[in-house]
């Protein structure tokens, strides 16, 4: 199921959304990891990264390069970077 489109939001709102999506991708309970956990430690692969980038673009209406997942390897870091994009 695709996530519902949401209005562009601040870093905290993006982090909440990312946390939920990453929990779903990794098949983890949302409370089983923090926003400082590295995506690779959660089992993220390049396939997950591509899918997540597509969902970010669809949900927030911003273009995301797949390498952002690796350049900003935690929910907190990625959310902050995404919030700064035009």
pLDDT (tens digit per residue) in 19-48: 999 999 999 999 999 999 999 999 999 999
Give the chain's domains with CATH numbers. Answer: 32-86 (1.10.1200.10)
Confidence (pLDDT) at 55: 96
Q: How confident is the model at residue 2 (pLDDT cuts 50, 70, 90)?
A: low
pTM as predicted: 0.87
Q: How confident is the model at residue 6 (pLDDT cuts 50, 70, 90)?
A: low
Q: Tell me, what DSSP letter sits at residue 36? A: T
Higher pLDDT, residue 9 or 30: 30
CA distance 66 to 4: 21
């Amino acid at each position: 199921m695709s996530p519902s489109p949401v209005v562009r939001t601040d870093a905290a709102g993006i982090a909440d959304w990312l946390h939920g999506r990453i929990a779903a991708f990794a098949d983890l309970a949302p409370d089983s990891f923090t926003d400082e956990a590295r995506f690779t430690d959660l089992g993220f692969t390049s396939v997950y990264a591509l899918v997540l980038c597509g969902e970010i673009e669809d949900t927030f209406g911003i273009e995301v390069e797949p390498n952002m997942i690796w350049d900003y390897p935690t929910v907190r870091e990625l959310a902050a970077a995404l919030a700064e994009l035009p």
